[in-house]
């Protein structure tokens, strides 16, 4: 079991070694995809094992996998797999067009592998200090990806990203300190005072004031990574400037990793602070949905549109957690998975469109359906999925969350519903115009579809559709056990 758990982050990390053996773009891409697939396989095996035998821990809590970590590991591994297969096509196209030199291609492979490996590792530790270290390290690896193209705009986005998230994550470190401090009157060993199961078991005995400070700072700190408003300002820039598979990883994996940390902190704070934690999450959640929905109205860079949609969806997850109860947490987890797949597919599609139309401006793209049936079709369907229309998975999870709101007879559920409608209109109006209409006459736009690039798009869409009509029994159990692990 230890081997299996360790392999999940190590397999993608191994791909970071591929540049050392001197392979070129194709080899780099295949190495990344291999690492991703291996990680996904191991993550599934870990989830099954945890489901059978309960939480697993080793090395005095430095490795700790319960159902919640298994669920998030599975989600992130899935995204890593899709994005790494997408990287094969990305790297090959960049090499053919000679827009990136070999050094940049290798940096991409190293950055991607480190980013994926460190994120997966951060989900598998029970030590909140190590969690912080790994999340910060994955931020640094991803900053390399954002600044990869070394244009003024991408360097600017990378700078903004690294300075704002470093600031935010430092706040999360202060939160970790205060949490450690809140446990100082307990008879725990120093190491246990940072370890999740020990803290969770003694959650009602933690010192009230320190705990409150720790929780607030954790929501602000890790919330910066999640892109909760008003700490979201780095997010649209970084997502639009990064290479598309990296944007997919940022939006669908990194944000979820930050959310995972917030899940943990809320679970610790809930017994002592009670409804206070829910209120904090509701405030940040609704702020994010409002900001996301309002900025989506503007038509322009479509990668920015997708980024604002990520802010909105992270807001929805936060609101779901704020509504609380079994239904709310269930909705939050299900929505995390659905959004991860949907946004991953959308960003990979955006990469395809950027390559064909050579622009990120939505108003210059039209007739994608006619010019490139697969990319255009996926763009249209994935957009419908991401705004939450049936029969896709996000409909089900958003429905669950709204139900959780009504269940607590909260008037906020109406507000959520209204904002979802606004987001629906704002988002679909841009992407529908991109997919339909007269195609632009250009050779690139109508170039034949590469098979490798199509695989992750179609696989992701199939998964979204599947989750919309049927939640597999194993997944349902995993989510229910996850809820059990944090209540």
- Minimum gap (Å) between residue 298 Cβ and another protein: 7
- Minimum gap (Å) between residue 176 Cβ and another protein: 9
Q: Is the peptide bond before 274 cis (omega within 30 degrees of 0)?
A: no
- Minimum gap (Å) between residue 82 Cβ and another protein: 26
Between CA 113 and CA 17 the distance in angstroms is: 9
- Tokens 């992750």 -> residue: 456
Q: Which neighbouring-strand residues pair with 65? A: 56
- Minimum gap (Å) between residue 301 Cβ and another protein: 8
- Minimum gap (Å) between residue 133 Cβ and another protein: 3
Measured from the CB atom, the residue of 81 and 430 that comes closer to another protein is 430
What sections of 297-324 are H helices per DSSP? 302-323
The answer to whether the beta carbons of residues 147 and 158 sit under 8 Å apart is yes
- Tokens 């490795």 -> residue: 63
Measured from the CB atom, the residue of 250 and 319 that comes closer to another protein is 250
- Minimum gap (Å) between residue 114 Cβ and another protein: 10
Measured from the CB atom, the residue of 303 and 356 that comes closer to another protein is 303
Between CA 154 and CA 156 the distance in angstroms is: 5
Measured from the CB atom, the residue of 26 and 298 that comes closer to another protein is 298
Measured from the CB atom, the residue of 177 and 465 that comes closer to another protein is 177
Measured from the CB atom, the residue of 138 and 431 that comes closer to another protein is 138
Residue 442, Cβ neighbours under 10 Å: how many? 12
- Minimum gap (Å) between residue 92 Cβ and another protein: 26
Q: Of 69, 170, 71, 182, which Cα lies nearest the Cα of 127?
A: 69
Buried b / exposed e across 243-253, counting CB within 10 Å, b at 16+? Answer: bbbbbbbbbbb
Helices 255-273, 102-123: axis angle to 10 degrees equals 20
Residue 332's φ and ψ, nearest 5 degrees, are -60, -45
Torsion of CA 149, 155, 158, 159, to 10 degrees: 160
Between CA 283 and CA 278 the distance in angstroms is: 9
Measured from the CB atom, the residue of 64 and 323 that comes closer to another protein is 64
The answer to whether the beta carbons of residues 306 and 346 sit under 8 Å apart is yes
Measured from the CB atom, the residue of 160 and 313 that comes closer to another protein is 160
Measured from the CB atom, the residue of 22 and 190 that comes closer to another protein is 190
- Minimum gap (Å) between residue 425 Cβ and another protein: 20
- Minimum gap (Å) between residue 216 Cβ and another protein: 12
Residues engaged in binding another protein (CB under 8 A): 62, 127, 129-130, 132-134, 136-137, 140, 143-144, 147, 150-153, 155-160, 162-163, 166-167, 170, 173-174, 177, 180-181, 184-185, 187, 190-191, 194, 207, 209-210, 236-237, 240-241, 298, 300-301, 304
Residues 6+ apart with CB under 8 A from 293: 312, 419, 422, 423, 426
């Amino acid at each position: 079991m230890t081997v299996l758990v360790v392999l999940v982050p190590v397999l993608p990390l191994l791909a970071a070694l591929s540049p050392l053996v001197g392979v070129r773009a194709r080899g780099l891409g295949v190495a990344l995809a291999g690492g991703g697939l291996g990680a996904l396989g191991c993550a599934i095996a870990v989830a099954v094992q945890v489901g059978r035998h309960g939480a697993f821990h080793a090395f005095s809590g430095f490795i700790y996998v319960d159902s919640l970590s298994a669920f998030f590991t599975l989600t992130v591994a899935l995204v890593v797999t899709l994005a790494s297969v997408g990287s094969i096509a990305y790297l090959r196209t960049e090499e053919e067009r000679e827009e990136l030199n070999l050094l940049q291609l290798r940096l991409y492979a190293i950055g991607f592998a480190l980013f994926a490996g460190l994120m997966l590792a951060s989900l598998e530790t029970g030590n909140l200090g190590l969690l912080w270290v790994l999340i910060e390290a994955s931020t640094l690896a991803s900053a390399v990806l954002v600044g990869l193209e070394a244009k003024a705009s991408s360097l600017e986005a990378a700078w903004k990203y690294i300075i704002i998230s470093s600031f935010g994550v430092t706040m999360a470190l202060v939160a970790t300190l205060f949490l450690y401090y809140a446990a100082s009157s307990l008879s725990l060993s120093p190491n246990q005072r940072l370890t999740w199961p020990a803290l969770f078991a003694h959650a009602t005995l933690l010192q009230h004031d320190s705990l409150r400070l720790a929780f607030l700072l954790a929501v602000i700190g890790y919330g910066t990574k999640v892109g909760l408003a008003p700490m979201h300002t780095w997010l649209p820039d970084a997502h639009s400037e990064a290479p598309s598979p990296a944007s997919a990883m940022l939006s669908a994996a990194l944000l979820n990793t930050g959310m995972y940390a917030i899940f943990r902190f809320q679970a610790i704070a809930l017994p002592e602070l009670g409804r206070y934690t829910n209120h904090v999450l509701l405030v940040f959640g609704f702020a994010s949905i409002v900001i996301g929905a309002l900025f989506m109205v503007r038509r322009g860079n479509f990668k920015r549109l997708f980024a604002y949609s990520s802010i909105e969806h992270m807001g929805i997850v936060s609101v779901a957690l704020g509504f609380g109860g079994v239904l709310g947490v269930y909705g939050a987890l299900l929505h995390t998975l659905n959004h991860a797949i949907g946004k991953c597919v959308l960003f990979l599609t955006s990469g395809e469109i950027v390559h064909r139309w050579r622009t990120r401006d939505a108003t210059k793209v039209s007739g994608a359906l006619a010019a490139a049936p697969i990319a255009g079709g996926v763009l249209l369907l994935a957009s419908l999925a991401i705004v939450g229309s049936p029969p896709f998975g996000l409909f089900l999870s958003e429905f669950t969350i709204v139900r959780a709101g009504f269940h607590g007879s909260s008037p906020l559920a109406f507000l959520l519903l209204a904002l979802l409608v606004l987001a629906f209109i704002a988002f679909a109006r841009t992407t529908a115009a991109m997919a339909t209409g007269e195609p632009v006459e250009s050779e690139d736009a109508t170039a034949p579809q590469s098979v490798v690039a199509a695989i992750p798009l179609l696989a992701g869409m199939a998964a979204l559709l599947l989750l919309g009509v049927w939640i597999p029994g194993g997944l349902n159990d995993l989510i229910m056990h996850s809820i059990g692990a944090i209540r």
